[in-house]
Structure 1
Amino acid sequence: MLKIWGRISSINVRKVVLAAQWLGIPFERTDAGHEFGVVKTPEYLAKNPNALVPLIEDGDFQLWESNVIVRYLCAKHSPGELYPQDLAARFDAERWMDWQQTTLNPAGRNAFVHLMRTPAEKRDAQLVAQSAAATESLMTLLDDHLPHRAFMAGDAFTMADIPIACELHRWRGLPLERPARPHLERWYQGILAQPASRGVLDLPLS
């Protein structure tokens, strides 16, 4: 059985759990990281020297880095569907996964950290505002991308949708005002309606 290490409050762990549930893979998840510890133990560091979550163990194979894990699970369990076989289609999906990790996630990080993980008296309102402005611009980019396609990489759900759905879940959970974005909302509500999103995208932030 697939073993997933990491607390569900982590966006990166949520990506892996969402992928596993979407693919129907039986798994066992062990809380690790943050208040649960574990990640600094010699046993864990031998598997992931970064001392971060998530980590998966698939038989004798160990893998860390959330988006890489999503790619691996989709390639193994859904070749040609969630993991596109056509080279152009695959790298279209890859592009959006990298964009989530290198552009969208960093933009929203300060708002999340200050509003969810920082005591009110220590929050930096200017950093939150800057983070919110940067992220809202990217959300507009997503809304502009979706009018003529059902999912991030075309007409079918692929690995590209998983990390961006988890990012949107985190952004929507922050106590901030957001303008209406009908295309992005349609896409996200469609994912929320799927049973695989239960226990991942329906959880409050913490």
Structure 2
Amino acid sequence: MLTIWGRRNSFNVQKAMWLVGELGLGHEHIPLGGPFGGLDDPAFLARNPHGRIPVIDDDGTIVWESHAILRYLAARYGGERFWPSDPAARSHADRWMDWAQTTLQPEFLNGVFWGYYRTPEPQRNWPAIHASVARTAEHYKLLDRWLADKKFLAGDELTLADIPAGTTLYRYFDLDIERPSIPNVEAWYARLRERPAYAEHVMVPFADLKG
């Protein structure tokens, strides 16, 4: 039995839950973190010494870190569908996963989502926020150019390449911020919204996170 710890409105938990939904895996979800607490419980720290979510236990195999979880689940349950065994094909997914984690996610989630949305207005550092919004826009414009002749980041089918960057889109398009013209990203987002697993696990209201 697959067990997943984490709160549903956590960005990193949503990545894992989206793939669980795509794979149709039966699972138990245990809310943890934020208002649910529990991150410093000894039992949880025994599973993840860093005390962070998400964490999964798959019949005794414990995995933490969202991208490690994505790769584990895709390799164990997805066959060739989400993370191909061929090294060259697999690298397409790995490139976009790593780029999203090291470039897009820090700028958007830390600089924009935390700096703007999760910070109370009197405490907002507006010059830093505007700079992060501008840099984030450049990242999405890069994605827009890449998607000009593609349905998904690695080609015609959804793969792990799409999950980290794709998970940001619901928040990015919902925030009251300036955005560039990115029609190819918008078309990609529309395709993702049609997927039941994305709608259920990523399009989760986040108003309670507002500072």
| Alpha-carbon separation, structure 2, partners of 1:27 and 1:174 | 31
Partner SS, residue 101 of structure 2: helix
| Alpha-carbon separation, structure 1, partners of 2:143 and 2:74 | 23
Which residue matches 2:92? 92
Partner SS, residue 131 of structure 2: helix
Q: Retained in 1: the 8 A contact 2:147–2:185?
A: yes
Which residue matches 1:167? 168
The offset of 1:97, in angstroms, is: 0.3
| Alpha-carbon separation, structure 1, partners of 2:174 and 2:57 | 30
| Unpaired segments ≥5 residues, structure 2 | none
Q: Retained in 2: the 8 A contact 1:153–1:160?
A: yes
Which residue matches 1:114? 115
Structure 1 counterpart of 2:13, which letter? V
Tell me which of the two structures has the higher relative contact order, counting C-alpha pairs closer than 8 angstroms and 6 or more residues apart.
2
| Alpha-carbon separation, structure 2, partners of 1:34 and 1:110 | 20
| Alpha-carbon separation, structure 2, partners of 1:175 and 1:36 | 28
The offset of 1:98, in angstroms, is: 0.5
Partner SS, residue 199 of structure 1: helix
Which residue matches 2:125? 124
TM-score, normalised to structure 1, is 0.96
Q: Retained in 2: the 8 A contact 1:173–1:204?
A: no
The offset of 1:86, in angstroms, is: 1.9
Which residue matches 2:72? 72
The offset of 1:22, in angstroms, is: 0.7
The offset of 1:87, in angstroms, is: 1.3
The offset of 1:169, in angstroms, is: 2.0
Q: Retained in 2: the 8 A contact 1:115–1:174?
A: no
Structure 1 counterpart of 2:86, which letter? D
| Alpha-carbon separation, structure 1, partners of 2:96 and 2:21 | 21
Structure 2 counterpart of 1:52, which letter? R
The offset of 1:117, in angstroms, is: 1.7
Structure 2 counterpart of 1:115, which letter? Y
**Deviant stretches of 4+, over 6 Å:** none
Which residue matches 2:204? 203
| Alpha-carbon separation, structure 1, partners of 2:116 and 2:53 | 22
Q: Retained in 2: the 8 A contact 1:192–1:201?
A: no
Aligned residues: 206
Correspondence list, 1:27-42, <5 A: 27-42=27-42
Deviates more, 1:193-202 or 1:157-166: 193-202
CA-atom RMSD, angstroms? 1.2
TM-score, normalised to structure 2, is 0.94
| Alpha-carbon separation, structure 1, partners of 2:205 and 2:179 | 18
Partner SS, residue 148 of structure 2: coil
| Unpaired segments ≥5 residues, structure 1 | none
Which residue matches 2:3? 3
Structure 2 counterpart of 1:119, which letter? P
